Structure 1
Amino acid sequence: MAGKRCLKGVDIMKLRFLGACREVGRSALLLDDNVMLDYGIKMGEPPEYPVNGVRPEVVLLSHCHIDHSGLLPNLMDIEPEVFMTPPTADLANLLLKDSLKIAESTGVNAPYDAGDLHTFMYKTKTVDYRIKFQTHGYNVEFYDAGHIPGAACTHVTSKSGESLLYTGDINTSDTRLVSGAVEFPNADYLAIESTYFSKEHIPRKETEETFIESLKSTLDIGGNVIIPAFAIGRTQELLMLLDAYGIRPYVDGMGKEAYEIMMKHPSYLRNPTHLKRAFDNAISVKSSRRDDVPLESSVIVTTSGMLNGGPSMYYLNKLYDDPKSKMMLTGYQVEGTNGRMAMDTGIIENNGVLQQLRLKLEQYDFSAHAGDKELKAIVKDFCDRGTKAVFTMHGDNTEGFATWIEEEIGVQAYAPVIGEKFDLH
């Protein structure tokens, strides 16, 4: 267990970092021993969990992705209050149900059961962006994080009067699906994700054009294109992109259900009309009819985005040995996942069988995270407005980010290790 550090401040706020420390995944930050900011899982074999044994009275969920939400039902025996935005509540329910279903079907011991999930749904209270609320003496407000529909930066003012802004996953640039984050409050302390620190994104338009050109070149020679995509956020954006270029894809997996949920919350979308048109024009594939998909100049958008199961593995089993076909990865591939192994070695594990990929493999940066320039601008903006210390989380180089903040901005910055505690007084 890591030790405790004391920072000089006016009042006392206690932070304990339970996950997403010098790594991507299992986000979990405990405030004053009783407010939990996210409680996720790090995907891999086996999955990794945050520090346990905590008993928060309040849980504030930034967004639905499993690396932020995946372990929350495990806390339901202590019946905390749970808050999130309306889309996050519906999308988290979808993802957590699916995770439990997969665990049960594969004989894996899940960290929660159906009863925990029911309690989670029952205890959840939904709050829109920019609506102030109170819980157990804390003042809380959600701000649009620009990551996926419903994703929130969480602003908490403690009983001592000190304030913390926890970004969760953040993006200040527009995507086809959502607008970038534009407005942030003042905060005494900032806990910021660091996924793309020191890595700059290629401009989105350039990425889209390169992606479409490569895809069309494969279709022109009679090959097929498999596009593994995260069910929430990436699938919807990619279908909008393909529709804009007149390409009609097949869509398989949970991305369709996520789309239906998103359409119930149109105010959280940048262009719900285009999103609807994109899904109306796509060809939906039922699990029982996958054999009907013609594997000749077809484009298939399907889960899972990191190749850890899902329909993508069905299509890969059909096409892995076809040099005319192509798999186009569109998201970050966490270490320990099938997608990372494919990128590093050209091999995947498919139902216990190792397969050498002869189809072409490409990766594109369709990230919904702020890049290096944007992360630095966010930190500078907060520090210019009086932020006293910054904590870098959720990245492979959080230490480098903290060093940059101290050297370039002159504000205290820390890259916590798992379990590390800070008394801000």
Structure 2
Amino acid sequence: MTSEIKITPLGAGQDVGRSCILLTIGGKNLMLDCGMHMGYNDERRFPDFSYITNEENERLTEHLDCVIISHFHLDHCGALPYMSEMVGYDGPIYMTHPTKAICPILLEDYRKITVERKGEENFFTSEMIKNCMKKVVAVNLHETKQVDEELEIKPYYAGHVLGAAMFHIKVGQQSVVYTGDYNMTPDRHLGAAWIDKCRPDLLITESTYATTIRDSKRCRERDFLKKVHDCVEKGGKVLIPVFALGRAQELCILLESYWDRMNIKVPIYFSLGLTEKANHYYKLFITWTSQKIKKTFVQRNMFEFKHIKPFDRAYIDNPGPMVVFATPGMLHAGLSLQIFKRWAPNDHNMVIMPGYCVAGTVGHKILNGARKLELENKQILDVKLSVQYMSFSAHADAKGIMQLISQCEPRNVMLVHGEAAKMDFLKNKIQQEFGIDCYKPANGETVTIETIHNIQVDIPLPLLKREASKTGLLPPDVKRPRVLHGALVMRGNRLQIIDPSQALKEMGVDEHHLRFTSTIAIEEDGPTNKAAEKIYQLVKRKMKDFPIHYSSDGSISISDSVLIQVSGDDDEAKSVLVSWSHQDEDIGSFLLQLLREDPSLVQAV
């Protein structure tokens, strides 16, 4: 059976940011993530939802069966209240319990920055965030969630950030795995992503680091600590832009233990309020963390830091060295950008970018060597501080992506959430190594994948035994289809072939028997019973596995439903009548062929 799967990225197609993938599978329409783009402040910030609706005032609910959110990062969930409350969607939104808890906090934080500080209008409100979250259905890891009678989803651990999940989506025999963002190597506070050998028709995977194979984690950590230590020892200030949860906790644990070991007294600060919130959620969802944190949690909570204190905006111009973790991570807005503007003109200071920066953000510009930045008020900012990039990003590298493909064995792969040139490299590598098709659609481009599946049908043992009893007659040929007489019925969501008489009985329909009769003339002299005896011996010899009965009236019966009757006068040609039921069509056909072709009978057709 051939069917299709259709995929259209509305965001993250040959781009990082604004993840939003439309998936049509088995007649169901799903939206995978609903993110915003950090690099834009105009209409390009959110996905173009008019692609889904046909008319201007039409609601998305008419076109979508469900929405799935992989994790709480804004490039994966930032457009959610806009989509549900302003464009109009009333259906279910699926995410894990930690994502459901943390998502509204980050959405509200982002709303405040956009509306209250930048004065933007036509933006979602706090009430809209609350109403949007009421539509959320939380799911547990490895729990199969039945969206409706045909569509089911199952989340798998993705690492990356607290609560991040990959989703296995299944309709009938068709299936797709959507990874969201994931990390195949464990770190200090989260475990590695894992999925079973589910062999989906399509794996849709992020490809942020499609061409990167990371160096030793230990070397990176040592390099990071040395850079921070060297800067503060010379009296400089270190800014580390981070997202509230994720790499922030990883680097805090790293610096906390180093400060302890080296007995350093320089203050370390974290954005006010976020430390407490982060600790609260890591305690609440301790089962989502790494094995080490789970084991030591009772004796010591690794998220309660001795050296790291809440940051106050008044500290920005404090003299002397300090280390500050500030949000957001790409320097596109908020406190991290405010601190950066103040510290950038001093060459004693340093900014360490620990993760990927989307094109258009200040982070992306300075990583690409920009030393003069035009600010919103048309002023030019001289960037004299040291700019360092150290990949502590919790995304899979090229090796990790190949590892995931090996793990789940998909029939096709699609790359999203990456740069086009890097995708080309990885696409060729996947096609060469695994011998499967790989796609990399741009935003608005639809890919159609044909899937071929065998339909599984249950056959009861008595029916198989009846067929097996005919093997002496027509041995099965593996290269040719075999006719099986039965009734095809649907029981629940499974197909079954049962005996027609049983099907009729279950339906309350009277059974009618259909018989076929054919006559062959043979030039066989002598008494009729002699001709009948000759045919009986022939049939007995050729059909050893069947119960054959020779009656006193000269008739021959096979398997209770096939009858051979010889008639005609002595010393004349004889007529051989062969009669069989519709269930024994192959026996009847075989007998006719046997009687016509056997050389021991003198034939006259």
Does TM, scored on the shorter chain, surpass 0.5? yes
Deviation at 1:116, TM superposition (A): 2.5
1:306 aligned partner: 330
1:58 lines up with 2:63 in the alignment: no
| 1:269 aligned partner, one-letter code | T
Residue 145 of structure 1 deviates from its aligned partner by 0.5
SS in 2 for 1:12: strand
Confirm whether residue 268 of structure 1 aligns to residue 288 of structure 2.
yes
How far does residue 81 in structure 1 lie from its aligned partner after superposition?
0.3
Q: Distance in 2 between matches of 1:50 and 1:318?
A: 34
Root-mean-square deviation (CA, aligned residues, Å) is 2.1
| Superposed counterparts of 1:24-423, under 5 Å | 24-32=16-24, 34-46=29-41, 47-53=44-50, 54=52, 55=60, 56-76=64-84, 77-105=88-116, 106-109=118-121, 111-136=123-148, 137-158=150-171, 160-186=172-198, 187-246=200-259, 249-253=268-272, 255-256=274-275, 257-270=277-290, 271=293, 273=297, 276-287=302-313, 289-290=314-315, 294-344=318-368, 345-349=370-374, 352=377, 353-383=379-409, 387-396=410-419, 397-423=422-448
Contact 1:307–1:337 (CA under 8 A) maintained in structure 2: yes
One-letter amino acid of the structure 1 residue matched with residue 185 of structure 2: S
Q: Is this contact kept in 1: 2:72–2:103, CA < 8 A? A: yes
Unaligned runs of 5+ in 2: 53-59, 451-605
Report the CA distance shift for 1:312/1:295 in structure 2 as closer, same or farther (over 3 A): farther
Q: Distance in 2 between matches of 1:359 and 1:70?
A: 31
User: Structure 1 residues 277, 400: closer, same or farther in 2, change over 3 A?
Assistant: closer
Residue identity opposite 1:359 in structure 2: L
Q: Distance in 2 between matches of 1:393 and 1:64?
A: 18
Q: Deviations over 1:248-279 (max 9, x none)?
A: 51112564233433322111122264664453
> What is the identity, as a one-letter code, of the residue corresponding to 1:34?
N
Give the percent of matched residue pairs that are identical in Structure 1 and Structure 2: 28
Q: Kindly provide the CA deviation profile for residues 357-398 of structure 1, in whole angstroms up to 9, marking residues without a partner as x.
A: 122111111010011111122223333xxx211111111122
Partner AA of 1:30 in structure 2 = L
Q: What is the one-letter code of the residue matched to 1:35?
A: L
Letter in 2 for 1:87: P
Per the alignment, residue 12 of structure 1 pairs with 4
Is 2:115–2:123's contact at 8 Å kept on the other side of the alignment?
no
How far apart are the structure 2 equivalents of 1:220 and 1:124? 49
Q: Structure 1 CA distance, aligned partners of 2:375 and 2:48?
A: 31
| Aligned 8 A contact 1:347 1:356 in 2 | yes
How far, CA to CA, are the matches of 1:417 and 1:179 in structure 2? 32
Q: What's the CA shift for 1:44?
A: 1.0
SS at match of 1:358: coil
Task: Return the letter of the residue paired with 1:404.
Answer: K
Distance 1:138 1:259, change over 3 A: same
3-state DSSP of counterpart to 1:279: coil
Contact 2:256 2:306 in 1 (8 A): no
Give, in whole Å, the separation in 2 of the partners of 1:276 and 1:67: 28
Q: After alignment, is 405-414 or 167-176 more displaced?
A: 405-414
Moved more, 388-397 or 315-324: 315-324
1:349 Cα deviation (Å)?
4.8
Q: 1:349 to 1:234 in 2, by over 3 A?
A: farther
SS at match of 1:209: helix
Code of the aligned partner of 1:65: H
Contact 1:402 1:414 in 2 (8 A): yes
Matches of 2:102 and 2:320, distance apart in 1:
33
Does the residue aligned with 2:195 lie in a helix, a strand or coil? coil
Query: Alpha-carbon deviation of 1:138?
Result: 1.0
Give the whole-Å Cα distance in 2 for the aligned partners of 1:22 and 1:361: 27
Q: What is the one-letter code of the residue matched to 1:265?
A: F
Q: TM-score, normalised by structure 2?
A: 0.65
Post-superposition offset of 1:201: 1.3
User: Alpha-carbon deviation of 1:16?
Assistant: 2.4
Q: Name whichever of 168-177 and 402-411 sits farther off.
A: 402-411
In the TM superposition, what is the alpha-carbon distance from 1:57 to its structure 2 partner? 2.8
1:415 is aligned with what amino acid?
K
Greater relative contact order (Cα < 8 A, sep 6+): 1
Kept in 1: contact 2:204–2:416 (CA 8 A): yes
SS of 1:263's partner is helix
Pick closer, same or farther for the CA change 1:351–1:285 going to 2, 3 Å: farther
Asked if structure 1 preserves the Cα contact closer than 8 Å seen for 2:190 and 2:288, the reply is: yes
Whole-angstrom distance in 2 between the partners of 1:275 and 1:51: 44
Query: Following TM superposition, by how much is the alpha carbon of 1:204 offset from its aligned partner in structure 2, in angstroms?
Result: 1.4
Separation in structure 2 between the aligned mates of residue 301 and residue 150 of structure 1, nearest angstrom: 22
CA contact (8 A) 1:59 1:81 kept: yes
Read off the aligned partner of 1:50 and give its amino acid letter. P
Q: Shift of residue 347 of structure 1?
A: 3.1
Would the alpha carbon gap of residues 124 and 34 (structure 1) be closer, same or farther in structure 2, given more than 3 Å must change?
same
Structure 1 distance, partners of 2:134, 2:212, is: 40
SS in 1 for 2:32: strand
Matching residue's letter, 1:231:
A
Per the TM alignment, residue 135 of structure 1 is displaced from its structure 2 partner at its CA by 0.6
C-alpha distance in 1 between matches for 2:338 and 2:211:
36
- The structural deviation recorded for 1:339 is 0.8
Residue 35 (structure 1) shift: 1.3
Point out where structure 1 has 5 or more consecutive residues left out of the alignment: 1-8
Cα offsets for 1:109-140 (capped at 9, x unmatched): 45533333122111111112111111133111
Q: 1:195 to 1:253 in 2, by over 3 A?
A: farther
User: Aligned AA for 1:130?
Assistant: H
Contact 2:330-2:361 within 8 A present in 1 as well: yes
- Aligned residue identity for 1:176: R
Q: Secondary structure at the match of 2:236?
A: coil
CA shift digits 1:128-178 (9 cap, x unpaired): 2111111133111100001111000011002x4201000110111011121
Alpha-carbon distance change, 231 to 295 in structure 1, aligned in 2, over 3 angstroms: farther
Distance 2:222 2:274 in 1: 23
* Higher radius of gyration, 1 or 2: 2
Secondary structure of 1:80's counterpart equals coil
**Distance in 1 of aligned mates of 2:281 and 2:195:** 25
